[in-house]
Structure 1
Amino acid sequence: MNFEKNTHIDFAPSEQQLLRYTLVTLSAVTLMGMLVFIIWVFGYILGTLHMLVFPLAIAGVLTLILLPIVELFERLEPVSPVPYSYADAGRCSCRNGDQIDTAGR
């Protein structure tokens, strides 16, 4: 008795071509299904978060539109930095309306 396992299957050329077409079609259908699913999930997330996403998108577009205008105004009239800020307020040692010396900054 011969107990060797024969795993080689011989297909006719037409069967091999049919198998190739079937595998390519199955792969294409799977890929299209995954793309449709990804678009559906993206639409669901966008629909859920639209109250957050749309204002951020509008703010981003306005930023890109107004940036050249802001740069133009900065070149025309530069703004001098404020010598005293709220960050320095905790370190202020003056009392009763004394003047703050900011010349050393």
Structure 2
Amino acid sequence: MKPSAVSTHVLDTANGIPAQGMPLEFWRMEPEPVLIRAGTTNADGRLDAPLLPPGDFAPGRYELRFDVAAYFAARGQDPGYLGTVVINVGLREGEGHYHVPLLCSPWSYSTYRGS
């Protein structure tokens, strides 16, 4: 079985740059919601460590909560109509690395399972 871990990367598509300073939270939703990690993205739009390293991985439902409005407001830009972008994912043991990127602007976002 491949070891499983979770990471993220945030890109500011409105400005064409990594989203440095994006506040985010990572929650395990089962059996009760528990905050696993909170942080702010670095100059590359990533966290300095995985959201969930292989040794701490447990299968289940998780949420990543990205404070897109706070990020754009801190840059002096109109935060648009997005507030907190919530991505709910189901993670399974043995599926390898889960990378959850967020591409965002004040008006839209997209995500996918990266590598």
Q: Which band: TM-score by shorter chain?
A: under 0.3
TM-score (normalizing by structure 2):
0.14
User: Which structure shows the bigger proportion of residues in strand conformation?
Assistant: 2
Structure number with greater CO (CA < 8 Å, separation at least 6) is: 2
User: Which structure shows the bigger proportion of residues in helix conformation?
Assistant: 1
TM-score (normalizing by structure 1):
0.15
